[in-house]
């Protein structure tokens, strides 16, 4: 028979106000197994903990029940108390008589009766507890950052600053991401490249940071502290170690039909190209779809002009296998394609453009060298209409777009409108809006400046139709404040398109078993208290991959994710939670149900010789990796043969609790 | 009186199947509407007024006949509110109340001349048939 001690906490008047704590501790004395029972004003205080420790020694207790607040609050406190007093920390059970009893009851008699039942239930479970030993696993002191935009760069810089190695895997030929495509940033209007490219250079020069560009993560195995990733580095057909970035090849390349992705495909680029002047790595890449040499075998001009001898038409994809302790998802976003919303005429009119296309049209490195010219005839537009919320804030059943607010559009539209009015005062600028949402430091002031100082015409209402008439775009919309329908003959229409996660996000989420919402944004472990961690241990979230956000927010989150990564990598060993699932190999029938329901990928099936009474054969059985298992218990309730059980929460323990309640 | 208003509102919502609370007041319906200038109450106002129980005002307004039932507002509403169906519902309520149409189905043929498209005649026949 075990010797159990019960400790009832008053929590000041929090519990004692509604529960007769004296009666509870008295009632517990007659419960089988209980040899000691006491109550105290604040059990979590130093004096309270001493009371527990003394009782453990004096009465040789081998298990304790603390009837107090939620285990989320103080379970760890009391486990430490027990451990210090020589007890296994998993021989501690908490009866929650505060949140689940005193706080929700008014009648003291009822409250007391319920507290007794809850304490008795904890004792019933404790009688079946077994001492558990927390294991440890080593930590590989290197982080993998997927995505080399501002989010990934900032996380990598901060992690490297703490002294750990970081690999950035970027799918495009250069890091920089979306921010590199922006002309100016709100609300300060500093040049985006001027603040981003120094960070790109810093990342490339940091000896702890290894940039693997034009690559994708193909496979990830393992668990927190011990991930193993396979990275496919695509063939660029240019030797990265030799290319000097002189761009002579670009000017000589006869194939000029490639679409310039960096300029939102508004102009062409050669088959061999460097995405933009400040690209990192500043190394050319050959587009195999456009290269004459690779397609027909005839040409080879770039090889002839390259003084560094960097061109290699026979280069193959390279597979890199590396181990990591932590993985950061910084996969970013793309604007949606507004073509299906045909009332805006985006697909049919060159002069209906997206906001990101406008960024390129206004940028000195863009297709028009920074002079705002409309795409159809390269004329200066004198009347411009901006349309907000294109594909954002839609009812999902309408299939017209995303259900969420894309968050950044109100501010960048105010920025565009202001910049245009500043540079071209002869241009009229109208903005159709539903709401102007500007929460953020100096954000509303920024928007007001667009209206009050720059005379931007904000129209409360939406656009119903954009139609081409001659060389004008007739924009018809509602003006709800003036209660009229308006028609504007515009030269250029700019759509503030919704943003969505990068198309690679879903497959990366699946690969990492990191949960995502229905919009393919990564889910955080806790919406408020753990916003930069995925529920999957060792996976961290940075930037728009987690939800729409602007540059300052992205940088803040990126640094927060880095802090979490550093906290993990700083440990030599991880203490694993011993409350994990395990499979009774004699009962396991190899059905794979548990493997399918496991959200963490902790269960694998192995062929193993099973030995038992009258049994000796090779069977396919489930095996749980205790370092990956989070102890959620999904497998234990799924298992049809009762082979799966959870340490610390065994089926037997749960049933004993149920019996104790129903007594 | 209050019961009467409530009954009218419920009828309009039942016939149309519209939930005006889904509206985010963006005005896309009114920005789209080809009959906007001919209407005293515009599509977005139909949604707001039904929500506020002002059905009788709508029933008495010529706006319900000015709607072409082109359903562009239904097609383009980002929230799936379907204002056009609400206009139709109020119009039906008026017709059922009077037990007669604004125009007689037999008179439609008289409108036909070379400028009137066939489609319009067909639609009118359908709309005003007994």
**pLDDT on residue B108:** 83
Q: Say how many CA atoms lie within 13 Å of A130 toward its Cβ.
A: 12
Rounded to two decimals, the ipTM of the complex is: 0.80
Backbone angles phi, psi at A435, to 5 degrees: -140, 150
Of A398, A461, A462, the CB nearest to B80: A398
What confidence score (pLDDT) does residue A449 get?
A: 97
- Pairwise CA distance, residues A489 & A469, whole Å: 9
Residue ranges per domain, chain A? 4-126, 142-234+317-332+502-569, 248-305, 335-500, 581-647
| A434 vs B contacts (CB less than 8 Å) | 24-27
pLDDT at B129: 67
Q: What is the pLDDT of residues A312-351, one digit of tens each?
A: 999 999 999 999 999 999 999 999 999 999 999 999 999 9
pLDDT score of A51: 96
**To the nearest 5 percent, what fractions of chain B are helix, strand and coil?**
65, 0, 35
Q: What's the CATH architecture for A4-126?
A: 3-Layer(aba) Sandwich (3.40)
Which among A395, A397, A478 is the nearest to B31, CB-wise? A478
Contacts of A480 in chain B (CB under 8 A): 25, 27, 30, 44
Beta bridge partners of A64: A5, A92
Determine, for residues B29 and A480 on separate chains, whether the beta-carbon distance falls below 8 Å: no
User: What is the per-residue pLDDT across A88-113, written as a single tens digit (0 to 9) for each?
Assistant: 999 999 999 999 999 999 999 999 99
Q: Which residues are CB-neighbours of A544 under 8 A, at least 6 positions away?
A: A151, A332, A333, A499, A501, A554
Residues from chain B that touch A483, judged by Cβ atoms under 8 A, are 42
Q: Which pLDDT score is estimated for A115?
A: 97
pLDDT value of position B130: 44
- Higher-confidence residue of B115 and B33: namely B33
Fold identical between A142-234+317-332+502-569 and A581-647? no
Place B114 in a pLDDT band, splitting at 50, 70 and 90. Answer: confident
Residue B32 to residues A413, A477, B37, Cα–Cα distance (Å): 23, 6, 12
Q: What is the pLDDT of residue B1?
A: 65
pLDDT tens, position by position, A31-55 = 999 999 999 999 999 999 999 999 9
Q: Residue A1 has what pLDDT?
A: 60
Nearest-by-Cβ selection for B31 from A395, A397, A476: A476
Q: Each residue of A482-495: pLDDT tens digit? A: 999 999 999 999 99
Identify the closest residue of chain B to A478 by CA–CA distance.
Answer: B31
Distance from CA of B23 to the nearest CA of A (A): 10
Average confidence (pLDDT) over A411-432 = 97
Q: Is the pLDDT of residue A122 over 70?
A: yes
Q: pLDDT tier at B99 (50, 70, 90 boundaries)?
A: low
What one-character DSSP code corresponds to residue A523? P
CA–CA separation, A179 and A161 (whole Å): 22
Identify the residue with better confidence: B100 or A583.
A583
Averaged pLDDT for residues B6-29? 94
**Residue A194: pLDDT over 70:** yes
CATH architecture of A142-234+317-332+502-569: 3-Layer(bba) Sandwich (3.50)
pLDDT in the model for residue A612: 87
- Helix-helix angle B2-16:B83-98, to 10 degrees: 120
3-state class (DSSP) for residue A533:
strand
Q: What is the mean pLDDT of residues A610-639?
A: 91
Report yes or no on whether pTM surpasses 0.90. no
pLDDT at A428 over 80: yes
Domains within chain B, CATH numbers bracketed:
2-99 (1.10.1060.10), 103-130 (no CATH)
> Contact A485/B80, CB-based, under 8 Å?
no
Say yes or no for a CB contact (<8 Å) between B30 and A389.
Answer: no
Residue carrying structure tokens 């006949």: B65
CATH topology (fold) of A335-500: FAD/NAD(P)-binding domain (3.50.50)
Task: Report in angstroms the alpha-carbon separations of A366 from A64, A245, A261, A265, A537.
Answer: 70, 19, 11, 11, 42
- Summarised one tens digit per residue, pLDDT across range A558-611 is 999 999 999 999 999 998 889 999 999 999 999 999 999 998 889 999 999 999
Enumerate the residues of chain A whose CB falls inside 8 A of the CB of residue B78.
Answer: 389, 393-395, 398, 400-401
Domain A581-647: assigned CATH number? 3.30.70.3270
**SS3 for A97-143, per residue?**
CCCCCHHHCCCHHHHHHHHHHHHHHHHHHHCCCCCCCCCEEECCCEE
* The two three-digit tokens of residue B123, written as one number: 């639609």
| CA A467 to each of CA A352, A375, A473: distance values in angstroms, whole numbers, following the listed order | 10, 16, 6
Task: Give the model's confidence band at B98: pLDDT under 50 very low, under 70 low, under 90 confident, else very high.
Answer: low
Given a cut of 60, is residue A161 above it in pLDDT?
Answer: yes
Residue A462 near chain B (CB below 8 Å):
yes
pLDDT tier for residue A614 given thresholds of 50, 70 and 90: confident
Q: Is the pLDDT of residue A298 over 70?
A: yes
What is the pLDDT of chain B when averaged over all its residues? 89
């Amino acid at each position: 028979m075990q010797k159990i001690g019960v400790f009832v906490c008053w929590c000041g008047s929090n519990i004692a106000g509604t529960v007769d704590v004296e009666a509870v501790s008295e009632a517990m004395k007659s419960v089988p197994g209980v040899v000691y029972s006491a109550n105290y004003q604040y059990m979590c205080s130093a004096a309270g903990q001493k009371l527990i420790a003394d009782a453990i020694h004096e009465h040789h207790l081998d298990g304790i029940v603390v009837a107090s607040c939620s285990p989320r609050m103080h379970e760890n406190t009391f486990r430490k108390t027990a451990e210090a007093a020589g007890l296994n920390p998993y021989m501690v059970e908490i009866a929650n008589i505060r949140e689940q009893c005193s706080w929700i009851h008014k009648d003291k008699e009822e409250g007391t009766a319920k507290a007794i039942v809850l304490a008795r239930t904890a004792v019933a479970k404790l009688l079946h507890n077994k001492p558990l030993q927390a294991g440890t696993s080593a930590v590989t002191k290197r982080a993998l950052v997927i995505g080399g935009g501002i989010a990934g760069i900032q996380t990598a810089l901060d992690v490297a600053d703490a002294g750990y190695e970081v690999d950035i895997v970027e799918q495009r030929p250069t890091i920089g991401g979306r921010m590199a495509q922006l002309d100016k940033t709100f609300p300060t209007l500093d040049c985006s490249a001027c603040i981003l490219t120094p960070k790109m250079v810093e990342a490339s020069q940091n000896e702890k940071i290894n940039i693997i560009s034009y690559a994708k993560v193909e496979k990830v195995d393992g668990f927190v502290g011990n991930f193993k990733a396979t990275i496919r580095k695509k063939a660029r057909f240019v030797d990265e170690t030799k290319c000097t970035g002189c761009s002579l090849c670009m000017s000589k390349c006869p194939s000029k039909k490639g679409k310039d992705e960096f300029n939102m495909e508004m102009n062409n680029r050669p088959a061999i190209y460097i995405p933009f002047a400040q690209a990192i790595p500043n190394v050319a890449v050959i587009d195999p779809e456009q290269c004459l040499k690779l397609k027909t075998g005839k040409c080879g001009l770039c090889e002839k002009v390259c003084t560094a001898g960097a061109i290699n038409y026979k280069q193959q994809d390279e597979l890199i296998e590396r181990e990591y302790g932590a993985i950061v998802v910084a996969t970013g976003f793309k604007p949606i394609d507004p073509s299906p919303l045909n009332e805006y005429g985006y697909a049919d009119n060159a002069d209906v453009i997206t906001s990101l296309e406008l960024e390129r049209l206004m940028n000195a490195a863009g297709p028009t060298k920074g002079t705002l010219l409309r795409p159809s005839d390269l004329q200066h537009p004198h009347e411009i209409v901006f349309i907000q919320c294109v594909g954002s804030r839609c009812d999902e059943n309408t299939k017209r777009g995303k259900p969420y607010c894309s968050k950044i559009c109100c501010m960048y539209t105010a920025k565009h409108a202001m910049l245009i009015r500043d540079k071209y005062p002869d241009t009229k600028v109208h903005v159709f809006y539903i709401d102007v949402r500007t929460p953020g430091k100096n954000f509303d002031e920024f928007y007001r400046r667009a209206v009050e100082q720059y005379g931007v015409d904000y129209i409360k209402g939406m656009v119903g139709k954009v139609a081409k008439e001659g060389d004008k775009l007739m924009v018809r919309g509602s003006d709800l404040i003036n209660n009229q329908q308006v028609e504007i003959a515009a030269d250029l229409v700019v759509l503030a398109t919704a943003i969505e996660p990068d198309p690679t996000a879903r497959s990366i989420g699946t690969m990492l078993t990191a949960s995502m919402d229905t919009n393919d944004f990564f889910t955080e472990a806790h919406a408020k208290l753990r916003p930069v961690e995925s529920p999957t241990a060792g996976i961290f979230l940075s930037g728009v991959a987690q939800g729409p956000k602007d540059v300052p927010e992205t940088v803040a989150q990126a640094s927060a994710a880095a802090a979490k990564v550093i906290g993990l990598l700083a440990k030599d060993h991880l203490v694993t939670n011993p409350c994990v699932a395990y499979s009774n190999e004699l009962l396991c029938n190899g059905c794979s149900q548990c493997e399918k329901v496991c959200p963490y990928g902790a269960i694998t099936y192995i062929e193993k010789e099973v030995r038992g009474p009258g049994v000796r054969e090779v069977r396919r059985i489930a095996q749980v990796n205790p370092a990956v298992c989070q102890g959620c218990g999904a497998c234990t309730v799924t298992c049809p043969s009762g082979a799966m059980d959870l340490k610390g929460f065994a089926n037997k323990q749960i049933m004993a609790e149920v019996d104790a309640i129903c007594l | 009186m209050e019961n009467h208003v409530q009954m009218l509102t419920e009828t309009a919502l039942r016939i149309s199947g519209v939930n005006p609370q889904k509206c985010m007041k963006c005005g896309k319906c009114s920005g789209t509407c080809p009959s906007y200038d001919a209407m005293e109450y515009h599509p977005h106002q139909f949604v707001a007024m039904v929500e506020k129980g002002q059905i009788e005002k709508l029933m008495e307004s010529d706006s319900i006949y000015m709607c072409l039932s082109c359903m562009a507002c239904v097609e383009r509403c980002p929230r799936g509110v379907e204002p056009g169906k609400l206009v139709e519902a109020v119009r039906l309520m008026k017709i059922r109340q009077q037990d007669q149409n604004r125009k007689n189905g037999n008179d439609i043929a008289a409108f036909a001349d070379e400028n009137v498209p066939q489609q319009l005649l067909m639609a009118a026949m359908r709309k005003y048939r007994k």
